[in-house]
Amino acid sequence: MRTVFTTLGAITLVLFLFSSCRAQSRVYVAARPATVMAPPPPFRGAVWIGPEYQLHRGAYVYVPPRYVTPRRGHVWVSGHWDHHRGKQVWVKGKWVKHNKHKRR
């Protein structure tokens, strides 16, 4: 299991290092990926960051899900699929201050 997290971490790091600096909040894609089940957390308080998409060399690529250390005073709002102008779009996940977070 540790090898899986190490491999996922390495892949994520490479994607982040080679990704573009431009911020994008919506990604146009053709189809949704399969649902990913979260494995048991590797440490107490770990926050599950589900699958995401990042811009890499002009194309959006899948970023595998992972556990991260939580940010104090913030909650993670997962990325999600939405409809925009007749297409399905990806809205990136983000950290928001806890007192400003609204439940859906």
The residues spanned by each domain of the chain are 2-31+43-100
* pLDDT value of position 74: 94
Higher pLDDT, 68 or 6: 68
Q: Using the predicted structure, report yes or no on whether residue 77 has a pLDDT greater than 90.
A: yes
Average pLDDT value over all residues in the chain:
74
Question: CB neighbours of 89 closer than 8 A, spacing ≥ 6?
Answer: 26, 27, 28, 29, 81, 82, 83
As a whole-number percent, the residues of the chain with pLDDT over 70 amount to 59
Which pLDDT does position 69 carry in this prediction?
Answer: 95
Q: Strand (E) positions, 18-103? A: 26-28, 47-49, 52-56, 59-63, 66-68, 74-77, 80-84, 87-91, 94-97
CA 86 – CA 89 distance, rounded (Å): 9
